[in-house]
Amino acid sequence: MNKVMLVDDEAVITMQLEKRLPSMGYDVVGTASSGEESILMARDLKPNLILMDIVMPGRLDGIDAAEIISKELDIPIIFLTAYTDDKFIERAKNVEPYGYIIKPFNEREIRPNIEIALYKKKLERRQKQAVERIRKLSSIVEQSSCMIMITDTKGNIKYVNPKFTQFTGYTSEEMIGKNLHFLKSGEMSPEVYKELWGMIMSGREWRGEFCSKKKNGEPYWEYAFISPIKDVEGIINHFVAVKADITEWKQMGERLLQSEKLKALRVITSGISHEFGNILAVISGNVQLLKEDYKDYKDDKELMDKLSIIRESIDNGAEIIRMMNEFIKVKEDNRSGFVALDIRDLIKQVIDSTLPEWKNMALAQAEGITYHIDREGLKEVPALPGNPSELREVFVNLMNNALDAMPDGGRISFHTWKKEENIFISISDTGKGMSEEVQKQIFEPFFTTKRPKGTGLSMSVAYSIITRHGGNIDVESEVGKGSTFTIRLPIKKGAC
């Protein structure tokens, strides 16, 4: 039963209402005869509704009291008064009453006014609760650490939260109204998007991962949960996507897979290199004996050429064994031979030592072919622990790889920078670039695109060395636009 409070200085009115309201289904919880008294009583009784006279004795009239009660207690008030002057009505309007009944009143007017006032207040409170829920939900969405996007059924973007704009580099103005197509990286099969749209258009939820791109063109992997939104009739009109960046997780997974492959290959390589070395030793010994036995035939050019070819092949085989042994000679947690070194000086030494070979190669190929070395990006960075000879081999391998990718000349650029507790080194070339398939296999042992010359070990050796140093190496490339290898090395010894 709803509680009603009466405020009127006319005893006859309050007695009449006290008698009639219970028969209408209301509980009269108190009566007051002044504005001041009504405020105190309302605070104490907290009724569901107040019937308030306007003109009463005391410092506060009914309108003044109603204003205080409405603001402080949010109780609906119906004015019950004999005054119809404009000045009272205008003042009463400012309080936003739920009714204005003129005395003398008909009892039949009371119940409809009370019911409408109570219903209106109920709706208002529901609306306030809904607004508050929306406000809280909006706050959660706006402050979420996940990327959240809402689109229509055609894929046109209607909303993105701050995390989405912060991560992708786009402003909300740049995204709202655009179709999702502009975020595609080109890395995903059309079948993935076909499956996605088929599921959400049928009213089901879709979960999965795919590759998108930021404003600067950088690709990134995201895990997305996409759900349809339906109207009151059950018709899908929007989709909401909650996404999380999993790029680093994907890269870690790939590095872990590569690491496991290397561990298995170390076991295999240990046996192969041993047996292969024995075979080469036998062949080398026999070549030496043949040269000794046929030293009187040194003018026999054909014989000597064939022996030289065998000798050269033995040397090549020995080099392959040496590179294979790079996988097994040092455990990943071994830091022997590590010293504090300036990575910039090491790179400059490698450039200076290999530059003559580059120049000779350019001269031998054709006039006009030149190779440019850009060292401007070699910025000062802290010293880091490392094995100089091993890291030197990494940079030699990467430079030779760049040289092979630029048969018609080109530019190779070096950059160094510090981020958190790591040093980063990037080596970029303007060569032929690599396909996605080649990029996925570039660090796998014995994978090469340079057969019959290449052994396919230089990049895997580089990977193994960087891994032993607690770092990682990644490649980004595009066919016809060159490649960039980026190395991360920890500053602190033993960091991973």
pLDDT tens profile 44-81: 999 999 999 999 988 999 999 999 999 999 999 999 88
Q: Are 160 and 206 in contact (CB under 8 A)?
A: no
Is 336's pLDDT higher than 70?
no
pLDDT of the residue at 446:
63
pLDDT of the residue at 61:
92
pLDDT band at 147; cut points 50, 70, 90: confident
pLDDT tens profile 204-225: 888 888 888 888 888 888 888 8
**CA torsion, points 232, 234, 236, 242, in degrees to nearest 10?**
80
Strand partners, 148: 242
The residue with greater pLDDT, 358 or 153, is: 153
Q: Are 228 and 239 in contact (CB under 8 A)?
A: yes
Rg for the chain, CA atoms, rounded: 41
Amino acid at 224: A
pLDDT > 70: percent of the chain: 78
Give the C-alpha separation, 326 to 265, whole Å: 11
pLDDT of the residue at 326:
58
CATH architecture of the domain 2-140 equals 3-Layer(aba) Sandwich (3.40)
Q: Is 130 exposed, middle or buried (0-12, 13-18, 19+ CB in 10 A)?
A: exposed
pLDDT > 90: percent of the chain: 28
Instruction: Among 15-29, 437-451, 463-477, 481-495, name the most confident range.
Output: 15-29
Is 424's pLDDT higher than 90?
yes
Give the C-alpha separation, 454 to 89, whole Å: 97
For the segment 301-309, the average pLDDT, to the nearest whole number, is 71
Instruction: Among 27-31, 214-218, 307-311, 464-468, name the most confident range.
Output: 27-31
Return the structure tokens found at 250: 């994907």
Give the C-alpha separation, 209 to 223, whole Å: 4
Give the C-alpha separation, 219 to 205, whole Å: 25
The contacts of residue 357 (CB under 8 Å, 6+ apart) are none
For the segment 346-369, the average pLDDT, to the nearest whole number, is 70
Helix (H, G, I), strand (E, B) or coil at 17: helix
Q: Are 4 and 26 in contact (CB under 8 A)?
A: yes
Q: CA dist 290 to 229, 285, 300, Å? A: 84, 9, 13
pLDDT of the residue at 457:
65
Residue whose structure tokens are 């580099």: 169
For the segment 333-347, the average pLDDT, to the nearest whole number, is 79
Parse the chain into domains and list their residue ranges: 2-140, 144-245, 250-325, 339-490
pLDDT of the residue at 451:
47
Return the structure tokens found at 465: 């060395």
Give the C-alpha separation, 371 to 136, whole Å: 60
**CA torsion, points 188, 429, 250, 253, in degrees to nearest 10?**
130
Amino acid at 380: E
Percent helix, percent strand, percent coil in the chain, to nearest 5: 50, 25, 25
pLDDT tens profile 382-391: 999 998 888 9
pLDDT of the residue at 82:
87
Q: Are 188 and 211 in contact (CB under 8 A)?
A: yes
Give the C-alpha separation, 62 to 73, whole Å: 15
How many Cα atoms are found within 13 Å in the side-chain-facing hemisphere of 359? 7
Least confident of 233-242, 247-256, 419-428, 437-446: 247-256
For the segment 338-350, the average pLDDT, to the nearest whole number, is 89
Give the C-alpha separation, 489 to 467, whole Å: 9
For the segment 12-23, the average pLDDT, to the nearest whole number, is 90
pLDDT tens profile 102-144: 888 887 889 999 999 999 999 988 888 877 887 777 777 788 8
pLDDT band at 1; cut points 50, 70, 90: confident
pLDDT of the residue at 280:
65
Q: Which helix (H) or strand (E) holds 466?
A: helix 458-468
Instruction: Given CATH 3.30.565.10, say whether it is the number of domain 339-490.
Output: yes
CATH architecture of the domain 144-245 equals 2-Layer Sandwich (3.30)
**Nearest-5° angle of CA 425, CA 430, CA 436?**
80
By C-alpha distance, which of 186, 213, 260, 212 is closest to 436? Answer: 186
Least confident of 81-90, 189-198, 289-298, 487-496: 289-298
pLDDT tens profile 386-417: 988 889 889 988 988 888 888 888 889 999 99
Give the C-alpha separation, 222 to 246, whole Å: 5
Helix (H, G, I), strand (E, B) or coil at 300: coil
Which ranges of 172-246 would DSSP assign to H, the alpha helix? 172-175, 190-201
Is 370's pLDDT higher than 50?
yes
Least confident of 3-12, 87-96, 137-146: 137-146
* Other residues' Cβ atoms within 10 Å of the Cβ of residue 39: 20
pLDDT band at 6; cut points 50, 70, 90: very high
Q: Is 361 exposed, middle or buried (0-12, 13-18, 19+ CB in 10 A)?
A: middle
pLDDT of the residue at 382:
92
Q: Are 390 and 464 in contact (CB under 8 A)?
A: no
By C-alpha distance, which of 344, 343, 373 is closest to 356? Answer: 373
pLDDT of the residue at 49:
95
Is 456's pLDDT higher than 60?
no
pLDDT of the residue at 140:
72
